[in-house]
Amino acid sequence: MEKLKKRWGITSNFQLTIIFIVFAITGSTAAKVAGPITEYIGLHPDALHPILYWIVRILLIFPIYQVLLIFFGWLFGQFAFFWNFEKKMLNRLGIKI
């Protein structure tokens, strides 16, 4: 854990715990929200090939996850950490902010 704290520039175990909680809540929420959104836009597992359906669903989850990560990070008082995390992740994907 010390290596992770040093890499992320975190000083306390409490902050690390909050960050892990935010990651868990964000992932669960993004996966849960993707279902109704795919239904709303007319994508159903019965209407598409299962592989295509899951590729579209995962591509849909990605931007939802990014927005929710910032929101839950802000909600838990870790906005600065997650904003920097988000910028680094998007820069690696070639999206400059």
pLDDT tens readout for residues 51-90: 888 898 888 888 899 999 999 999 999 999 999 999 988 8
pLDDT > 90? residue 23: yes
Q: What is the pLDDT of residues 29-55, one digit of tens each?
A: 998 998 888 888 888 888 888 888 889
Does 4 reside within a domain? no
- Which residues form the domain of 42? 13-92
Whole-model pTM: value is: 0.82
DSSP characters over 33-95: HHHHHHHHTT--TTTS-HHHHHHHHHHHHHHHHHHHHHHHHHHTT-HHHHHHHHHHHHHHTT-
29 in any annotated domain = yes
Is residue 6 in a domain? no
Examine residue 7 and state whether it is found in any structural domain, yes or no. no
Q: In this model, does residue 3 exceed pLDDT 90?
A: no
Tell whether 20 is covered by a domain: yes
